[in-house]
Amino acid sequence: MVPELEKATVHMKNPEHVKRVISALRKEGTDKLQVISDFDMTLSRFGFNGRRCPTSHNILDNSRVISEEGRKKLKDLLHYYYPIEIDPNRTMEEKCPLMVEWWTKAHDLLLQQKILKSDIAKIVRDSEVMLRDGVNAFFDQLHQHDIPLFIFSAGVGDVLEEVLRQAEVLHPNVTVVSNYMDFDDQGVLRQFKAPLIHTYNKNNRVLGKTEQFQQLSSRTNIVLLGDSMGDLSMADGVTDAENVLTVGFLNDKVDERRGKYRDAYDIVLEKDETLDVVNGILCYVL
């Protein structure tokens, strides 16, 4: 059915369930289907040649527009909070206030740096960001078949949109909900727009009764892509969801987190830097 599911990186707790859902998605056609995806470390690569690739926040943190002192403070925050973010032994309830703390402190540091709107394109161009292999086929397939792609990201919206624009995949079927910057009349960053989205509040409450929420709730067959346990609530807003297939990229601390990921995601992709499996499923379904 989908030869890519035979890849060594693929792990499924219940392969029969996966087959059933994929068959239903194909049978029900394109009108009811949508893809909901995380951005950082899901559409973007986690690593390349043994080195970590940057998140949308890291693209800013590592850029020349940030002072040496600011960069050090942002790195210290990352080293303190990232292990908490991915710790399989802490509950989401425990993690939530700590994530709010991380995002708030990081955004406050970025606000001190006088970042210009007009610098974003160059910051992205000069960065080491990489999208996963197969990303063009992924975006192009969805665009061709008019399938909405809803990107729900706790990263920086302006930065990730620019990454997609430069990759020439920001097609009209793509909607992004993320942390967007607010610039003053001189084009200088003055604040981040509310609501704050962090790893563990990606759900219908943070979307509220927005246009994006309306759009999200109207298609009841879903392929959901994420790399964090927090990404699993991204489709919460679709209350009458029918067929949902969740695909989780397990990038880091694989041995410690394998059990929880296999219990939570229908398909787990361990250390797989490609979108091959997702593209194979879409090719079969569309």
Point out the residues that are catalytic: 38, 40
Site string for ligand TMP, 166-185 (x = CB under 6 A): --------------------
Which DSSP symbol is given to 54?
A: P
Site residues for ligand TMP, 105-124, by CB under 6 A, read 106
Q: Quick check: 198 and 153 in contact, CB under 8 A?
A: no
Residue 138 interacting with ligand TMP (CB under 6 A): no
Q: Quick check: 247 and 25 in contact, CB under 8 A?
A: no
Q: Quick check: 246 and 266 in contact, CB under 8 A?
A: yes
Residue 164 interacting with ligand TMP (CB under 6 A): no
Nearest to 282 by CA among 144, 173, 151: 144
Residue 58 near which of Mg ion, ligand TMP, none (CB within 5-8 Å, type-dependent):
ligand TMP
Task: Give the span between the Cα atoms of 278 and 76, in whole angstroms.
Answer: 35
Task: Give the span between the Cα atoms of 174 and 247, in whole angstroms.
Answer: 19
C-beta closer to ligand TMP: residue 201 or 243:
201
Neighbours of 165 (CB within 10 A): 12
Selected from 155, 237, 248, 280, the binder of ligand TMP by CB under 6 A is 155
Site residues for ligand TMP, 185-244, by CB under 6 A, read 199
C-beta closer to ligand TMP: residue 39 or 262:
39
φ/ψ of residue 270, rounded to 5: -90, 125
Q: How far is CA 280 from the centre of its chain?
A: 20
Distant-in-sequence, close-in-space partners of 180: CB < 8 Å, separation ≥ 6: 156, 157, 158, 192, 193
Residue 159 interacting with ligand TMP (CB under 6 A): no
Residue 153 interacting with ligand TMP (CB under 6 A): yes
Which DSSP symbol is given to 119?
A: G
C-beta closer to ligand TMP: residue 22 or 177:
177
Selected from 18, 33, 35, 40, the binder of ligand TMP by CB under 6 A is 40
Residue 103 near which of ligand TMP, Mg ion, none (CB within 5-8 Å, type-dependent):
ligand TMP
C-beta closer to ligand TMP: residue 18 or 74:
74
C-beta closer to Mg ion: residue 41 or 277:
41
Least distance from Mg ion to the Cβ atom of residue 99, Å: 12
Neighbours of 157 (CB within 10 A): 20
C-beta closer to Mg ion: residue 22 or 131:
131
Residue 189 near which of ligand TMP, Mg ion, none (CB within 5-8 Å, type-dependent):
none
Q: Is 39 exposed, middle or buried (0-12, 13-18, 19+ CB in 10 A)?
A: buried
Task: Give the span between the Cα atoms of 177 and 207, in whole angstroms.
Answer: 8
Residue 57 interacting with ligand TMP (CB under 6 A): yes
Least distance from ligand TMP to the Cβ atom of residue 242, Å: 25
Residues lying near Mg ion in the complex (CB under 5 A): 38, 40-41, 227
Task: Give the span between the Cα atoms of 81 and 77, in whole angstroms.
Answer: 6
Nearest to 41 by CA among 283, 269, 201: 269
Least distance from ligand TMP to the Cβ atom of residue 225, Å: 11
The residues that touch ligand TMP, with contacts defined as CB under 6 A, are: 38-41, 55, 57-58, 74, 77-78, 85, 102-103, 106, 153-155, 199
